A and B are shown apart, each in its own frame.
Chain A
């Protein structure tokens, strides 16, 4: 495990301050799709890092590029996608590598859990077989040992009656149980980064909470870094250490969770927060929705991409695109006129 900056240890001695060595270093990642005669700029230069054991939430609406960027890291994009920039896993560059090289990382170094558990599992293949496949792709072990490991994994994700479930088919399980299986598959080879792409969006609220709790618990157990991709700010608030907000293919704000929700800087993030239904709101009051639509990704806008919809938009917003800068310690935003500084409300 890479060393990270640690606090004082139990013995009260002076902790050794080691430079943080991030698991994932993404720098100026760009993803462009070619479709029907046009270019789609899905990801327009994002940079972030993932530390070992960190819980990061990437929040954005549909089309913000959050899923595409994660798929780019994993190398799961179709052939029509052009990826540029740098993605380093433990110092090893992944962009431009062959599928064969990337395959040795997929499942072993990083893994993904997807949104629709009923579609993520092969309906004609037994669950156990799908797990042992994940194991035996990277580890040379016999069928019986793989079987035992798979059952252990099912136990780990708290699937009831794991030994029996091993021989069952996906349709015999409920949505929550299937998602547990998908998590088991993802964690089969002990990856160091787990991407959860809207992993709980398709589940009912109670199951959502159960799965999130499970993910966090497993994270503690295995020390895996968890990257939650979602549109749900509430999810981020509850479970993440750090939050990254994406809009129109760019990162617009990044901060540790507590600080973010204590004082939002980006008008977009504020608008997202305002749009969440709350108990405290008066009944029969219109929810403040964000007017307009996300920008068309076929062209790179001149000014700030959020300008057409921003309630506090000003002239320079339309002409100059703000860049993501670390304006305060650990806090990044890309806005000429951020909130909370006395200039906006």
Chain B
């Protein structure tokens, strides 16, 4: 017989209960998983920073000429380069930068007059975050019910239309969709602004972000609906516990939502987490089209300006985001799936 997960506590003394709790926590599989993942994430992050440094500095074309323009004289270029420490060897610069990162100093932007990279990122990050969160909300609100409807009546009208739609939505290029929607919603009808305009009202804010978020959400909806639908159908057709539930007399809807859906969530979350890296790429394009002042747009500017510190700062942020997302999904996996939760307690 297997043991259970509950440790029977000795009656009485509350102090020992606390101590037992803490000891239990230290043995907790979740914490150990977090610790392990964090440890393995650090070399990845380091690798990301190294890669970005190499990319920006080892490629032909240098910051000085990019910023001073073609008409700069060699003397001006040289002076500027010295000013930016660009004449020092690669690894020295990298060392400096890395040291700065650890202490929280990401350097200063070369292009925008010594503004600290950290503050640039700080200004721009919320914009991108709002875009992404808004898009994810739209995605989940649409794709989950849609997938459930598809799985409830497979090959029915809703299913066929949804699959057509999702095929289209993952095939359409975001910039194409953006332009088409702009034609429809902005040019003549002015329902949404086609260019970001700063606003302090909630409605104004939503007006700014709705169209970009929808465009970001469309391929996601297509993707997640297909995935969820397939996962749900696989369960409904092949899993024994579904048959048991039906044998109990449970209605088909309940079987779908209370049994199959809850098991699919884990997979869905993992997919969302793993997709984050691609999401970042699309965000950049969308911000550019709508002139949203997010870090994606800033990245584009920085790259063309050879504004190395800014690029590296943003790359670091992206890298952290991806690593964090993967970490979170791994963790959520462990939390949501009770089988993994109890791994340590089985003897």
Contact = CB atoms under 8 A, between A and B. Distances in A.
Direct contact of A and B (CB under 8 A): yes
Interface string B324-347: 000000000000111100100010
Interface residues of B, number: 30
Interface stretch (A98-106, A149-157, A309-317, A321-329): A98-106
A128 to B, nearest CB: 13
Nearest to B237: A78
Nearest to A173: B2
Contacts of B4: 161, 164, 168, 172
Contact of A121 (B2, B241, B247, B262): B241
Given A121-B241, A123-B338, A171-B338, A74 B1 contact: no
Q: In terms of DSSP, what is the predominant structure of the interface of chain B?
A: helix
Contacts of A337: none
Contacts of B252: 99
Given A78-B237, A116-B240, A122 B245 contact: yes
A149 to B, nearest CB: 14
A120 B342 CA distance: 20
Nearest to A108: B249
B81 interface: no
A103 B246 CA distance: 8
Contact of B338 (A107, A108, A114, A169): A169
A197 to B, nearest CB: 10
A74 B247 CA distance: 7
Given A122-B259, A124-B338, A169-B338, A103 B251 contact: yes
Interface in B184-221: none
Question: What size tier do the contact residues of chain A reach?
Answer: 35 or more
Pairs of residues from A and B, 5 with the lowest C-beta to C-beta distance, nearest first? A119-B240, A107-B249, A106-B249, A122-B241, A134-B248
Given A103-B250, A123-B339, 17 more contacts: A104-B249, A107-B249, A112-B247, A114-B240, A120-B244, A121-B241, A122-B259, A122-B263, A124-B266, A124-B338, A125-B258, A133-B245, A168-B4, A169-B338, A171-B339, A172-B5, A174-B2
Interface of B: 1-2, 4-6, 237, 239-241, 243-252, 258-259, 262-263, 266, 336-339, 342, 346
